[in-house]
């Protein structure tokens, strides 16, 4: 196989990562780039990562 055979599939992985990221409440453009760089590993990381918090609050506690 030549490298030209892998380019369409690698782009498809990037688009899939971006689309999944958007659906999971993450930044699609960032995950598209990660999909292009990391390939299927980016999709695995995205699917295994916890969903972002919807409240926007920090998980840190204030020292009292």
Number of structural domains the chain divides into: 1
Rg (CA), the chain: 16
User: Is the pLDDT reported for residue 57 higher than 60?
Assistant: no
- Domain containing 32 equals 3-48
**Average pLDDT value over all residues in the chain:** 86
Assess if residue 59 is contained within a domain: no
Tens-place pLDDT, residues 3-34: 888 889 999 999 999 999 999 999 999 999 99
Statement: residue 36 has pLDDT above 90: yes
Average pLDDT over residues 36-41: 94
Residue 61 domain flag:
no
DSSP 58: -
Which pTM was predicted? 0.75
Other C-beta atoms lying within 10 Å of the C-beta of residue 39: 16
> Has residue 62 been placed in a domain?
no
């Amino acid at each position: 196989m030549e490298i030209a055979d892998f380019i369409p599939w690698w782009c498809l992985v990037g688009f899939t990562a971006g689309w999944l990221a958007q659906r999971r409440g993450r930044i699609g453009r960032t995950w598209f780039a990660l999909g292009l760089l990391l390939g299927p590993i980016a999709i695995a990381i995205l699917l295994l990562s916890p969903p972002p918090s919807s409240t926007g609050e920090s998980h840190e506690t204030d020292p009292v």
